[in-house]
Structure 1
Amino acid sequence: MIPLKDAVHLCVDMQRIFSKGGVWETPWMERVLPVVTEIAARYDERTIFTRFITPQSWDQRPGQWQRYFQRWKAATREHLQSDQLELVPELARFVPPAHVVDKPAYSAFYLSELDALLTDKGVRCLIVTGAETDICVLSTVLAAVDRGFRVVLVEDALCSSSDTGHEALMTMYRTRMQEQIELINSNELAAVWSAR
């Protein structure tokens, strides 16, 4: 059992830019969005949404990020419609009381207020949902493991634009990281995350 006060629902990058018609469209998002929405609705005060905030222009990031954003100039803020970095409307309605943490890179912990927010709340467990399984979720989960958090992934609330990448990560979590990462289905969450 996970006591309610010890955990937060960390929802990674469920933004318009990843939704249907977005620059980084993630087709699975539509499939998992009802599950993520239900979790956020049940635990709105214990939910933290992250947003991947792209640079104004490609040359505002260091090193290889410049090459990346030269390739994805359409995702930089000088080319992107301003609402594309916002949460999808189905989730934005939970803020507040849910929190939003902005980040400039894949990991939700990198150059963000997440560490301080979790420390302030006394959090010891992250219940993770969001996009994409094999990029931002992966980077965030590994950073959480490094920090000693209990990490619980809600399998049917994760999405990727790559079936291969998603399945590879699920296999890795099951076979290599069982002591540090737990996988559950959303219908198990209420039983695992106690209201006490």
Structure 2
Amino acid sequence: MGDGLRDRVPASAVHLCVDMQRLFLDDTPWRTPWANRVLPGIVRLCDAHADRTCFTRFIPPAVPEAARGAWVRYWTHWAALTGAQIDPALLELPSDLQRYVPPARVFDKGVYSPWFHGALQQALQTAGVDTLIVTGGETDVCVLATVLGAVDLGFRVIIVTDALCSSADSVHDAVLELYRDRFSLQIETADLDEVLDGWR
């Protein structure tokens, strides 16, 4: 459960779904155990606002050496998931979400934050977007990087509490509490039904 919406969701809002790829839903070393459990809720939000939806995808480098700095060590550890070794189909959205593209848009990234390369920010600014409704995974990694970047950029940020997933329940719960406590002036937390009801 969230603390609820402060105001109705404006027509200018965008649903930003973070990294709901087969890489995290299928049987891989990065499988997020309850990603499939939150997928139906994300589908409901896409059904209601497909034309106001953006997906991000986490794309590994071809080889560890193609990464930057400390990412080389990271990708050396996860070499089996680099572009040269992974099945490219695992980087795709599941069919339940892929069917919304288009009109939904996809933005690829090679790091946790979708703001690093600037394409997503530019697209949202050009479209006059001022509010982001965030779903996806993982709560404590890519979602966290997405949310904090969005706060820095001045977006109204709404977290859909029952449409997020993580590999660790305790950390998921702690990050949601962080949003409610330390970022309560900039981040709203609400469940899916309230968001759908407030965004018409």
Cα distance, 1:190 vs structure 2: 2.2
**What is the match of residue 85 of structure 1?**
91
Q: Residue in 1 aligned with 2:51?
A: 45
The answer on 1:148 being equivalent to 2:154 is yes
**Cα distance, 1:22 vs structure 2:** 2.4
How far apart, CA to CA, are the structure 1 residues paired with 2:34 and 2:194?
21
In the alignment, what sits opposite 2:111? 105
1:2 aligns with 2:2: no
Aligned to 2:3: none
Cα displacement (A) at 1:192: 2.0
1:129 to 127, 135, 145: 135
Deviation at 1:37, TM superposition (A): 0.7
Report percent identity of matched pairs. Answer: 48
Q: Give the match for residue 19 of structure 2.
A: 13
Instruction: Tell me, yes or no, if structure 1 residue 188 matches structure 2 residue 194.
Output: yes
Does the aligned pair in 1 maintain the 2:10–2:131 contact within 8 Å? no
Residue identity in the other structure for 2:109: K
- What is the RMSD computed on CA atoms of the aligned residues? 0.9
Q: Give the equivalent residue in structure 1 for 2:120.
A: 114
Counterparts of 1:21 and 1:175, CA distance in 2: 35
Query: Does the Cα contact within 8 Å between 1:101 and 1:112 map onto a contact in 2?
Result: no
Give TM-score, length-normalised by structure 2.
Answer: 0.94
Contact kept in structure 2, 1:102 and 1:112, CA below 8 Å: no
**Maintained 8 Å contact 2:45/2:196:** no
TM-score of the superposed pair, with normalisation by structure 1: 0.96
The question of 1:73 aligning with 2:106 is answered no
Residues 29 and 160, structure 1, Cα contact 8 Å, conserved in 2: yes
1:112 CA displacement: 4.6
Separation in structure 2 between the aligned mates of residue 115 and residue 85 of structure 1, nearest angstrom? 22
Q: RCO greater where, 1 or 2, for CA within 8 Å and sep 6 or more?
A: 2
Match of 2:42 among 28, 36, 42: 36
Structure 2 CA distance for aligned equivalents of residues 109 and 22 of structure 1: 26
Q: Are the counterparts in 2 of residues 8 and 46 from structure 1 also a CA contact under 8 Å?
A: yes
Runs of 4+ in 1 over 6 A off after TM superposition: none
Number of residues of Structure 1 aligned to a counterpart in Structure 2? 193
Query: Runs of 5+ in structure 1 lacking a partner?
Result: none
Partner of 1:9, secondary structure, is strand
Q: Structure 2: which 5+ residue stretches go unaligned?
A: 1-7
**Aligned counterparts of 1:20 and 1:81: Cα–Cα separation in 2:** 12
Contact 1:103 1:112 in 2 (8 A): no
Q: What amino acid does structure 2 have at the position aligned with 1:77?
A: G
